[in-house]
Amino acid sequence: MVIGKEIKMAKFYPVLKKLSLAGFSFFAVTFAVYYFNLDMKLTAAMEPVLEYFYDKVDRDQHL
């Protein structure tokens, strides 16, 4: 009985290790985005491109 449980745990540890590594990596990336304000820097870099397409849209202006 104990041997079977050890085999199940031996299969579980690599999965747990990979999940922990993935979770820590996700946290590190999202923390770096937050700390350096990268989301707003990306938005500022994309703004001219977005404005170009937005300004080309025909509008129906009625006052």
Domain count, the chain: 1
Asked whether residue 61 is domain-assigned, the answer is no
Residue 32 and residue 38 in contact, taking contact as beta carbons nearer than 8 Å: yes
Taking the C-alpha atoms of residue 21 and residue 5, their distance in angstroms, rounded to an integer, is 24
**Residue 6 confidence (pLDDT):** 82
* Identity of the amino acid at 44: A
The verdict on residue 31 lying in a domain is yes
What's the domain range around 45?
Answer: 2-55
pLDDT tens, residue by residue, 21-55: 999 999 999 999 999 999 999 999 999 999 999 88
- Split at pLDDT 50, 70, 90, the class of 2 is low
Q: Is the pTM of this model over 0.75?
A: no
Which helix H or strand E contains 47, and what residues bound it?
A: helix 38-55
